[in-house]
């Protein structure tokens, strides 16, 4: 399946819920809990995955909200993993309930786990997430690594004044030294609730290189990690990655689409355009996805200057709903 710019679309990010157990300051957290749209039934999610796989999406990642808030998450994973065209099933989690579900996820066919973790400092963790449960998340990380998933990744959003100083970045980098994981530092995107100042908290990728001058680029045949540019620290078990959607657009190589927890297709994360897939038969889902992908924009409209982005209100979405 190709879009109108000859990009091969093979990756689906499928949100299974808008509910979340955290109230992250840069997301929507508790502020949106009362207006979470009616989420899809497990059978509907599996049908959407079937349609997307038939259209050419061989890689599927389950997102939220927090996917592990669904009691039927293992059933959903098993149903998607059994689709012949699906070669990779991944799941992104905040890690709070990961220890509880890790065995079920592995046996249900999940091959890759991403854990969102912005700091290893308990006080900063509480400020960012609104929860005092860092130990549980770190235990979940340890259990995921021990379970033997094909890959475990840690996603860290850079936040100015909170986790972008040298000490904080080096503390996080220790996780990649200790575990065989990919730790990816991600530039903040303006997808948050309206009382969050994007300009105040934006920090670009240079913070990582200042803190970790010893980073060595991975060879091309060892660097495959999607949109992340990958590096190594000598002697480390894992790798360090940088994802910079603001300062380095990677739209020209974008291979993904998204479906929200209420069944709407978004050809681009940072575009307001959505197409409803709910209630369609599998063959109609496939047909509509192919049609809608032709309208995937050439690139997003984020400005590299956070002040310009915030001043003009270019993007103001709810990441909790769209499953970023």
The three-class DSSP label of residue 272 is: coil
Interatomic CA distance for residues 239 and 256, integer angstroms? 23
Position 214 pLDDT exceeds 90? yes
pLDDT-wise least confident of 62-71, 95-104, 269-278 = 269-278
Is residue 147 within 8 Å of residue 176, measured between CB atoms? Answer: no
- Mapped onto helix, strand or coil, the DSSP state of residue 2 is strand
pLDDT attached to residue 319: 61
Positions of E strands within 125-225? 151-157, 182-186, 216-217
Instruction: Please give the pLDDT value at position 177.
Output: 95
Distance CA 246, CA 108 (A): 36
Provide the CA 175 distance to its chain's centre, in angstroms. 19
Q: What is the pLDDT of residue 30?
A: 42
- As a whole number of angstroms, the distance between CA 187 and CA 160 comes to 10
Task: Give me the residues paired with residue 194 across strands.
Answer: none
CB 116 within 8 A of CB 92: yes
> Which superfamily, per CATH, for 11-322?
Aldolase class I (3.20.20.70)
What ranges do the domains of the chain cover? 11-322
207 vs 320, higher pLDDT: 207
Pick the closest to residue 240 from 227, 226, 229 (CA basis): 229
Average pLDDT over every residue of 130-156: 97
Position 251 scores a pLDDT of 78
Q: What average pLDDT does the chain have?
A: 89
Band (pLDDT 50/70/90 cuts) for residue 26 is confident
Task: Give the pLDDT mean for 31-39.
Answer: 62
Can you read off the two tokens belonging to residue 201? 């908290």
Gyration radius of the chain's alpha carbons: 19
Whole-model pTM? Answer: 0.91
Please give the helix or strand (H or E) that residue 256 lies within, else none: strand 256-259
């Amino acid at each position: 399946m190709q879009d109108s710019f000859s990009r091969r679309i093979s990756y689906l990010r499928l949100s299974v819920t808008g509910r979340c157990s955290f109230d992250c300051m840069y997301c929507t957290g508790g502020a949106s809990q009362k207006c979470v749209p009616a989420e899809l039934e497990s059978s509907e999610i599996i049908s959407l995955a079937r349609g997307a796989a038939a259209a050419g999406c061989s890689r599927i990642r389950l997102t939220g909200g927090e996917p592990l808030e669904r009691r039927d998450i293992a059933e959903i994973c098993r149903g998607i993993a059994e689709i012949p065209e699906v070669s990779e099933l991944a799941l992104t989690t905040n890690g709070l309930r990961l220890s509880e579900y890790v065995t079920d996820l592995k046996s249900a066919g999940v091959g890759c786990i991403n854990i969102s973790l912005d700091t290893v400092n308990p006080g900063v963790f509480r400020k960012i997430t609104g929860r005092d449960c860092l130990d549980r998340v770190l235990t979940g990380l340890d259990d995921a690594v021990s379970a033997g998933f094909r890959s475990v990744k840690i996603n860290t959003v850079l936040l100015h004044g909170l986790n972008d100083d040298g000490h904080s970045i080096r503390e996080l980098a220790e996780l990649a030294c200790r575990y065989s994981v990919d730790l990816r530092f991600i530039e903040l995107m303006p997808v948050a609730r309206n009382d969050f100042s994007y300009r105040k908290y934006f920090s670009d990728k240079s913070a990582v290189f200042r803190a970790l001058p010893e980073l060595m680029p991975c060879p091309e045949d060892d660097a495959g990690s999607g949109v992340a540019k990958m590096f190594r620290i000598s002697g480390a078990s894992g790798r360090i990655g940088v994802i910079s959607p603001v300062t380095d657009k990677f739209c020209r190589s974008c291979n993904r689409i998204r479906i929200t927890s209420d069944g709407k297709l978004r050809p681009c994360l940072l575009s307001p355009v959505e197409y409803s897939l709910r209630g369609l038969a599998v063959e109609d889902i496939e047909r509509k996805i192919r049609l809608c992908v032709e309208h995937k924009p050439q690139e997003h409209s984020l400005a590299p200057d956070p002040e310009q982005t915030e001043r003009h209100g270019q993007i103001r979405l709810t990441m909790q709903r769209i499953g970023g």
